[in-house]
Amino acid sequence: MAFLNNFRLLFSSLRPLADKEVAAARDKGAAKRLVRALKDHDELVRDHAVEALGRIRCVDALGPIIHTLANDRSDFVRRTAARVLV
């Protein structure tokens, strides 16, 4: 029981931090930086950017994600774009 109480205490102390991070990620500036990263030469950067845009559910990023799905040269990145649009 002590373990469960300690876990609850830890979780309750981390929750405000996680909420703050999610709110910061939804910031328009963060979305703009991620959209710019969709044009990076490195496919892993593009993949992580499209994944993050899907996670924050920024409506302004819908067009760039669809563009990535249709035009990215990497099958890997296009598959990620398709998955985040679902």
Domain map of the chain by residue range?
A: 2-85
- Residue 58's pLDDT is what? 83
Nearest by Cα to 26 from 63, 61, 62, 57: 57
The predicted-structure confidence for 20-79, as pLDDT tens digits, reads as follows 555 555 566 888 899 999 999 999 999 999 999 998 888 889 999 999 999 999 999 999
With a threshold of 0.85, does the pTM exceed it? no
The answer to whether 36 and 54 are in contact (CB under 8 A) is no
* Torsion angle, alpha carbons of 7, 11, 14, 19, to 10: 170
CATH architecture of 2-85: Alpha Horseshoe (1.25)
